[in-house]
Amino acid sequence: MEKITHLNHSFLSRVVVLAAVSTVLFLWGCGGGGPGAPGSEGSEDTGVILEASIVPLYNDTNTNSVDVFRQICTPATESSPAVYEVFTDHQATVTFTARSLNPQSTFRLGDLTIEKYSVEFFPSQDSLGAPPIETDTRYATTVIPAPTGVTSVKVEATVVLVDLTRKFRYLSDLENRLYTSHDGFLNNYTAVYTFEGKNDFGDSFEVKAQTDFQIGSFDNCATQ
């Protein structure tokens, strides 16, 4: 899927390409009055290719199994309380990779600053009766230094996949029989992330990435 959006000032065009687990963002700019200066004319085009990929993460383990039911790992005894599995937001690691579209350019490319991101949730074909999961929008800053020459720049950040509020709502919807699931409260979804920000020259950009995950009741006691 390809989407082209025109930008103002120094960025003449932006191309967002959404792949299965990563997206490519083309940021074009023009200089004049200083490398990449906004609103200037008369210099060669420069640009950045920005890719983003998502890997779900829970309790320091890469996993796309989102747990919505807290298990008892060790039952209570007369001398000790019950031990429960870790139960918190399911997170993900996002990796941004930036490289110059024109490595031979002598103009300085501006740093890219992610300012916020949103996550949309879409049920898979085998889970069309699953509860809707509300879009999550969060403000978090991640700075991606501008690449130089043929060298690419990689930056990792931790983001939220499914928070506790959405876990509780999902389980409640199923327990109240408002929606359907497979055994173990299981349904499958695709999460689509949209990261938005600006470069050093004030031009807006966005990059998308997506990941598939399953949500239901999982036993995480062994990972504690």
Domain tally for the chain?
Answer: 1
Domain-located, residue 158: yes
Rounded Cα distance between 219 and 158, Å, is: 23
Q: Are 157 and 96 in contact (CB under 8 A)?
A: yes
Model confidence pLDDT, tens digit, residues 26-64: 444 333 333 222 222 222 233 788 899 999 999 999 999
Domain-located, residue 222: no
Model confidence pLDDT, tens digit, residues 135-174: 999 999 999 998 888 888 999 999 999 999 999 999 999 9
* Consecutive H or E run containing 168: helix 164-175
Q: At residue 202, does pLDDT exceed 90?
A: no
Residues spanned by the domain of 106 = 2-69+79-216
Q: Are 221 and 199 in contact (CB under 8 A)?
A: no
Domain-located, residue 221: no
